[in-house]
Amino acid sequence: MGLPLHLAVIGTGIVGTATAAWAQRDGHRITFIDPLDAGEGCSFGNAGSLSPSAVLPVGMPGMWRKVPKWLLDPSGPLVIRAHYLPTVLPWLMRFLRHSSEKEVTRIATAIRGLLDPVFDSYTPLVQRAGHGAGSLIQREGCLYVYSSRESAQRWKWGTDLRRSLGVTMHELDSDALFDLEPDLRGSFAFGQYAPENGATTDPSALVKAIYAQAIRDGANHLKTRVTGFNQRDGLVKEVLLADGEPLEVDGVVVAAGAWSAVLAAQLGSKVPLETQRGYHVTLPNPTVSLTRNIMAVEQNIMINPMRMGLRLAGTVELAGLKAAPNYARAEALLSKGNEIFPRLTTEGHTMWMGHRPCLPDSMPVIGAASRAENAWFGFGHGHVGMCGGATTGREIANLVSGREPEINLKPFRPDRFKSWVGS
């Protein structure tokens, strides 16, 4: 396999576009394959946080105690739709197995390696993209906010773990908190300021900017779905498309977000990929003014000032890829927003649901396929795909070009779920 390669990149979310942009720097020729425009999948409507501090997995110690409540409370932060419980149960059991203190420490250490270079990995891409792409990333830090210093104690174990991994978090009493964000007055009285964090003010536009430059740099986009691969002698020779002739390739990257498992299985890796469906509400004229990303910890909701308005995002719903959105979940976000900011104006708000691609250990799959030497995976970034997407792209480009990875990729290896027998 001589370099450069003709590389098919399946998926034009943040992972696929960043991978293409990094691979183009080595001279590889890119064909994107995705029925959607760039940045229209899960990368469209997320909370936009770019946080090297977001190292904690979703499954935290003691979480198993909350499972019965999740099943009964349709407006809680995590719901499982009853019809989907039998399907998701094996995944859920595995998820809970990864929530011990030992496992969480191992996972957080690995995720820290992926998230720490977030801005180093984005900067070359947005600089090259030009056209104001750099202004889509702000670096004002982020605030974790609580009703009181005492209530923050409930999250102390996780905060200490973050700090032990090098995350800077300054404690702010109420005066210092309101100096930074006057509109938080009322509901919060204690904050932790993570100065190294940032956010994108429009995740979809950020993906589109990277994609547009990739196209200007010669990439092509086939607007169809990949259905499989023709393989010979341990190599993918052709990518099979829902519409059109098979595409001859030298290599392939699977970055199809929550839809990646079927494709990965065809390339030899069975992975327990589940969708954690999340929702947002975006308020175009909120009459609340914030300058940075806010994590309201007790309410379990992210609040991000974006260029199209104030976005409230969060919640996890386990209901699979096919069930229709339940916008009551987004309404619940709106209610929380109204409680937090009594003078919030909600007129003209929009709602959205997206599929977070999630493995039970809250870590992505990044690495080479086991059954094809010229196939690589970059999917499963769960709640931190915007934070980890650009670094994943850089690392896949390293693998494609035969360079050593710059971060420890071992925890993300595709074959770590060998014993998985679920669907």
Among 57, 77, 286, 385, binds ligand FAD (CB under 6 A): 385
Footprint of ligand FAD on residues 310-339 (CB under 6 A)?
A: 313-314
Report the length, in residues, of the chain: 423
Half-sphere exposure of 377 (CA within 13 A, CB side): 35
Query: In terms of Cα–Cα distance, which of 92, 85, 15, 84 is closest to 46?
Result: 15
Among 7, 8, 21, 34, binds ligand FAD (CB under 6 A): 34
Beta bridge partners of 282: 311, 350
Minimum CB separation from ligand FAD for residue 102, in Å? Answer: 25
For residues 409 and 260, give the distance between their C-alpha atoms in angstroms, rounded to a whole number: 19
What pairing do the DSSP bridges indicate for beta strands 365-368 and 375-379?
Answer: antiparallel
Among 8, 9, 11, 310, binds ligand FAD (CB under 6 A): 11
Footprint of ligand FAD on residues 39-78 (CB under 6 A)?
A: 40-43, 46-49
Footprint of ligand FAD on residues 203-242 (CB under 6 A)?
A: 225-226
Residue 286 CA, chain-centre distance (Å), reads 26
Q: How many residues bind ligand FAD (CB under 6 A)?
A: 43
3-state secondary structure of 375: strand
Minimum CB separation from ligand FAD for residue 149, in Å? Answer: 25
Backbone angles phi, psi at 164, to 5 degrees: -65, -20
**Interaction between residue 381 and ligand FAD (CB under 6 A):** yes
Minimum CB separation from ligand FAD for residue 175, in Å? Answer: 28
Among 7, 8, 9, 13, binds ligand FAD (CB under 6 A): 13
Among 1, 3, 36, 89, binds ligand FAD (CB under 6 A): 36
Among 95, 122, 379, 417, binds ligand FAD (CB under 6 A): 379
Cβ–Cβ contacts within 10 Å for residue 176, how many? 13
**Interaction between residue 356 and ligand FAD (CB under 6 A):** yes
Across the beta sheet with 235-241, what order do the strands follow?
A: 226-232, 235-241, 247-248
For residues 310 and 412, give the distance between their C-alpha atoms in angstroms, rounded to a whole number: 34
**Interaction between residue 117 and ligand FAD (CB under 6 A):** no
Dump the DSSP string for 222-248: E-S-EEEEEEETTEEEEEEESSSSPEE
Binding site for ligand FAD (CB under 6 A): 10-16, 33-36, 40-43, 46-49, 225-226, 255-257, 259, 278-280, 302, 313-314, 354, 356-357, 379, 381-387, 389
